[in-house]
């Protein structure tokens, strides 16, 4: 019984850790070059300031690299300064379903070059440090490649956004983890109940 409880707890904890750090272990090829208008360290205002993002295929990859790319989604991603030197988060590997990329800027058919979009920062973007990432998706809507304005460790070219409302991103992240935890706990609860009723029969 103690072992089972221990296993269940570990399972819950590891699920929670994975969900919170966006860990779905996959490594995508970084074939897109993405640039954005804010200078490193610049602080912009949500609901007012605009960001220009450009993206395209890195031409050093051989022709055909992008043959499976169908759509591109450009996202605003949260880069918590406090995470920068926590190696255990392995930010490089946790690229797909990244919970820190919550704000979609644009989604459109893939084109190898000359893509550009001007985006007014939405009002609900909370105060935090950010970068921009673009994902390429295949016909099955799976991420197949990406590009971003920062390095693999999310330390360079970061810019700030200041919310008019004073909302802070850590609240959003806490909310995501909390709801994920609730779902996981509920599943765990039903699993335990089901086992109990099976034992009773
Ligand atoms: C393009 O790809 C090459 C080869 O992977 C890489 O060395 C180079 O840094 C990339 N260029 C940019 C601007 O990311
Ligand atoms: C991209 O734009 C440049 C200059 O505006 C132009 O010379 C080039 O042909 C364009 N490339 C594509 C693929 O449209």
Residue nearest to atom 8 of ligand 2 (CA): 114
Give residue 41's pLDDT: 94
Q: Report d(CA 75, CA 50) in Å as an integer.
A: 14
Q: Report d(CA 60, CA 163) in Å as an integer.
A: 39
Give residue 90's pLDDT: 47
Instruction: Specify the number of domains making up the chain.
Output: 1
Q: Residue 30 CA: which ligand is closest?
A: 1
Q: Residue 114 CA: which ligand is closest?
A: 2
Report yes or no on 176 lying in a domain.
no
* CATH code of residue 37: 2.60.40.1930
Report yes or no on 106 lying in a domain.
yes
Report yes or no on 173 lying in a domain.
no
Residue nearest to atom 5 of ligand 2 (CA): 114
Residues in the chain: 201
Give residue 188's pLDDT: 74
113 lines ligand 2 (CB under 6 A): yes
Give residue 2's pLDDT: 63
Q: 52, 117 in Cβ contact below 8 A?
A: yes
DSSP character string of 24-90: --B--EE-EEEEESSPTT-EEETTT-EEEEEEEE-TTSPTTTTTT--EEEEEEEE--GGGTT-GGG-
| Phi, psi at 53, each rounded to 5° | -115, 135
33 lines ligand 1 (CB under 6 A): yes
Report yes or no on 123 lying in a domain.
yes
Q: What is the number of the ligand 2 atom nearest to the C-alpha of 112? A: 13
Q: Judge residue 180's burial from the number of C-beta atoms within 10 Å of its C-beta, 0-12 exposed, 13-18 middle, 19 or more buried.
A: middle
Residue nearest to atom 1 of ligand 2 (CA): 114
Give residue 173's pLDDT: 57
Q: Which domain holds residue 75?
A: 19-162
Tell me which H or E stretch contains 108. Answer: strand 103-109
Residue 178, helix vs strand vs coil:
helix
Give residue 21's pLDDT: 42
Q: Which residues are CB-contacts of 84 (< 8 A; sequence separation ≥ 6)?
A: 153, 154, 155
In this structure, is the dihedral angle defined by the CA atoms of residues 155, 106, 17 and 181, taken in order, positive or negative? positive
Give residue 80's pLDDT: 73
Per-residue tens of pLDDT for the chain, all 201 residues: 565 665 566 556 554 545 444 434 357 899 999 999 999 999 999 999 999 999 999 999 999 999 999 999 999 999 876 544 454 454 444 566 667 888 999 999 999 999 999 999 999 898 999 999 999 999 999 999 999 999 988 889 999 999 876 556 555 556 666 666 676 776 676 677 777 777 666
Report yes or no on 107 lying in a domain.
yes
Report yes or no on 195 lying in a domain.
no
Report yes or no on 81 lying in a domain.
yes
Report yes or no on 4 lying in a domain.
no
Q: Is 166 left (phi over 0), alpha (psi -120 to 50) or beta?
A: left
């Amino acid at each position: 019984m103690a072992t089972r409880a221990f296993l269940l707890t570990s399972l819950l904890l590891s699920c929670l850790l994975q969900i919170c750090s966006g860990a779905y272990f996959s490594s995508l090829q970084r074939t897109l070059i993405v640039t954005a208008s804010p200078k490193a360290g610049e602080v912009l205002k949500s609901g007012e300031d605009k960001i220009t993002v450009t993206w395209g295929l890195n031409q050093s990859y051989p022709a055909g690299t992008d043959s499976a790319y169908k759509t591109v989604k450009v996202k605003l991603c949260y880069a918590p300064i406090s995470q920068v030197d926590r190696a255990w988060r392995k930010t490089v590997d946790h690229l797909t379903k990244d919970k820190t990329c919550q704000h979609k800027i644009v989604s459109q058919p893939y084109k190898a070059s000359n893509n550009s979009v001007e985006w007014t920062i939405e009002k609900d973007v909370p105060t935090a440090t950010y970068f921009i990432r673009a994902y390429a998706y295949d016909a099955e809507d799976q991420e197949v490649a990406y590009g971003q304005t920062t390095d693999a460790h999310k330390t360079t070219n970061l810019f700030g956004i200041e919310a008019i409302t004073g909302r802070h991103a850590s609240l959003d992240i806490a909310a995501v983890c909390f709801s994920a935890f609730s779902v996981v706990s509920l599943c765990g609860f039903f699993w335990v109940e089901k086992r109990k009723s099976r034992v009773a029969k």
